[in-house]
Structure 1
């Protein structure tokens, strides 16, 4: 683990792999940490640079975000500090929403997008999101973690996967999670601008995800030009952990597509 101090935050992150091809930035969801990407870090760091941060208020990154934009601006600052001009950005759930916000606020940073088990619409239940923030502060993470475990993964998930997911949720700082919930309640509606997303994009969803269902994924894929939609069988909200081989295959295709487009651009500029 490494840390970087930005103007407004200190982020913990992993930075592994050779500086070859377009780097990969993995953005975790709520209420998790960077360890949710372990199968992808292990697989892709053999071939390229992979950056996996703990978002502010999660994992080993202290503090709490003041607003929704801070998540995207933190990632922009991280890439700046690591001297990475562009990356393929993969985000799951809240991480997918943050990936879209990063592409909206800092479009030159994003060479490609993988949006997993997420939604682009504005918060449909703002009051419920704010009430959840209050609940996490009052009760801590454990009741929420137990309640949500078998919505995050299927009941057929390997015990090691379920245990990891439960441990991540239980280990999250309630103050950081509550701040994120309040920020998410105010996030903008991204749907109207999706037709202007001009980078290679893949939308992935677990077939049994009832938190951000297949219909949400279809909506995003139907709006982003040339987006690929992939439905992962035998997975709920965390297909990257329940079905890592299938998920890694999808991500590998996206990375190859971005690498090829970069090669064509370099050739055309010679």
Structure 2
């Protein structure tokens, strides 16, 4: 469990696999931690370098996040300390927002990019907006539980959903609510045309947190994007981890116009 001091926060990370080639950097989402990527770490580490971290305030990292840009700065600084130049960010949900920020701020460092159940602008329809406004009035653990339960697609074992909800509720309240506000404020939809790197947009068909329609809205503006839709909800990395690993494998070897 290596740790590094970055920007006043102690970040916990894993750095595994071969040291040649361009590493994959896995970035988790809201209220989650680096273990959302357990399947991908086991799948890719025998063949290439793989790095994942607990974002500040999440999992086994401390510190208080404020904005998506600050979280992206943490990732960039951590990679600097690990002497990583070019990399492939794989970001889930809020992690995808962080990945897009990295691609816009440091395009020379991004070999390719994978966005899993992520979007470029948070948009709430009236019903979703009312639900989210109401849920913030609930006790904290209920607020987190309601949002995590909605994140999983139909048929996913309820007992496992409850375990993920309990784990998410251990994230400090201030971290959860601050990141929630940071995601609501995130908006780079008008800039995605600047992202020239080959990008895989991987999304769960049953995602009601960040619906497929919102992902497709941004997809049309990406200059070099491939879209794959999978039978899952918002928590695609754990609902269908094999599909994520398979899609990333394909993208790294055959998808898009570049080479990683």
TM-score (norm 2): 0.88
Gaps of 5+ in 2: none
Partner of 1:150: 149
Q: CA deviation at 1:200?
A: 1.2
Return closer, same or farther for 1:167/1:20 CA change in 2, 3 Å cut-off.
farther
* 2:245 aligned with 1:236: no
Partner of 1:213: 211
1:87–1:112 CA contact under 8 A, matched in 2:
yes
Partner of 2:180: 181
Q: CA deviation at 1:171?
A: 2.0
Gaps of 5+ in 1: 264-270
* Number of equivalent positions: 257
Return closer, same or farther for 1:186/1:110 CA change in 2, 3 Å cut-off.
same
Q: CA deviation at 1:237?
A: 0.2
Q: CA deviation at 1:164?
A: 4.5
2:219–2:225 CA contact under 8 A, matched in 1:
yes
Q: CA deviation at 1:57?
A: 1.0
Name the Cα RMSD after superposition: 2.8
Q: CA deviation at 1:177?
A: 1.4
1:200–1:226 CA contact under 8 A, matched in 2:
yes
Partner of 1:107: 107
Return closer, same or farther for 1:138/1:164 CA change in 2, 3 Å cut-off.
closer
SS at match of 2:220: helix
Deviations 1:164-204 (A, max 9, x none): 422331221212112212333333x2112212211110001
Return closer, same or farther for 1:176/1:226 CA change in 2, 3 Å cut-off.
same
Mean Cα deviation higher: 86-95 or 249-258: 249-258
**Distance in 1 separating the partners of 2:117 and 2:259:** 27
**Distance in 2 separating the partners of 1:258 and 1:77:** 29
**Distance in 2 separating the partners of 1:62 and 1:170:** 16
Runs of 4+ with deviation above 4 angstroms: 122-125, 135-138, 257-260
1:22–1:259 CA contact under 8 A, matched in 2:
no
Return closer, same or farther for 1:168/1:20 CA change in 2, 3 Å cut-off.
farther
**Distance in 1 separating the partners of 2:257 and 2:196:** 15
Mean Cα deviation higher: 159-168 or 23-32: 159-168
Is the helix fraction higher in 1 or 2?
1
**Distance in 1 separating the partners of 2:146 and 2:49:** 36
Partner of 1:202: 200
